[in-house]
Amino acid sequence: MNRAFFPVVKAFFIAVVALSTAAHAADEAKAAPAKADPAKGEALYTNGDPARNITACISCHGAAGASTISANPKLGGQHEAYIHKQLTNFQGADRNNPIMSPLAKLLTDDEMKNIAAYLNAQPAKPGAAKDKDTLALGKKIYRGGIAEKSVPACAGCHSPNGAGIPAQFPRIGGQHQDYTVTELTNFRSGARKNGPMMTTIAKRMSDDEIKAVADYIAGLK
């Protein structure tokens, strides 16, 4: 066999390996999700996008997610994965809301991730319990559940101080009483469908129990 043939073969195989490596790297780059950009999230949260009719989140949820409107949740310090999931759910039928659903449908997935990353990095705004007459009941439910109704302790998933568990259960400590009451009631009625576990639990709770635990939660730090 002509010796001149071997360098040609060697060069051919080197070229094939190089092309294969480049193609593999390109595939990995396509598969890797884009990293969330908190700076872009802050810009969209603070300013919105008037050209696309996207209202600034700050107008309802306050600077850095520190909402002062009791019907609108505090979002500062909320887990990134949870915020992204909720915005995604607002785009479908699982969490239909006349204000949030139209806005969420205007956002791209990257924009939702950016907003979530920004809010995750903000400090959680503390709240306070207001009704001393229901504090004991709220504390009992949150820490120990309601055994006779098979209602588990809220602390089991949301942690003793309401900080939640990242990527699994949301931060609820310090949340507005009115908002928590509304969401538990929505879970109970089926108006909110994106938490089967919460639906089961809320259906076993009375109005008074929901209000008591919501007030206790507001004071958690």
Does 102 lie in the same domain as 159? Answer: no
Helix (H) or strand (E) holding 41: helix 38-47
Q: What is the CATH number of the domain that holds 83?
A: 1.10.760.10
pLDDT tens profile 75-101: 999 999 999 999 999 999 999 999 999
Q: Amino acid letter at 179? A: Y
Domain extent for 172:
132-219
Do 183 and 163 lie in one domain? The reply is yes
For range 173-191, the mean pLDDT = 98
How confident is the model over 11-61, as pLDDT tens digits?
444 544 444 555 555 555 455 678 999 999 999 999 999 999 999 999 999
Residue environment code for 27-61, b if the CB has 16+ CB neighbours within 10 A, otherwise e: eeeeeeeeebbbebbbbbbeebeeeeebeebbebb
Nearest residue to 116 via CA among 221, 40, 195: 40
Known binding residues for heme c are: 57, 60-61, 100, 154, 157-158, 198
Residue 20 belongs to a domain: no
Binding residues: 57, 60-61, 100, 154, 157-158, 198
Looking at the structure of the chain, the number of domains it has is 2
Instruction: Fill in the DSSP letter of residue 88.
Output: H
Structure tokens at 145: 């559940």
Give the per-residue pLDDT at 15: 47
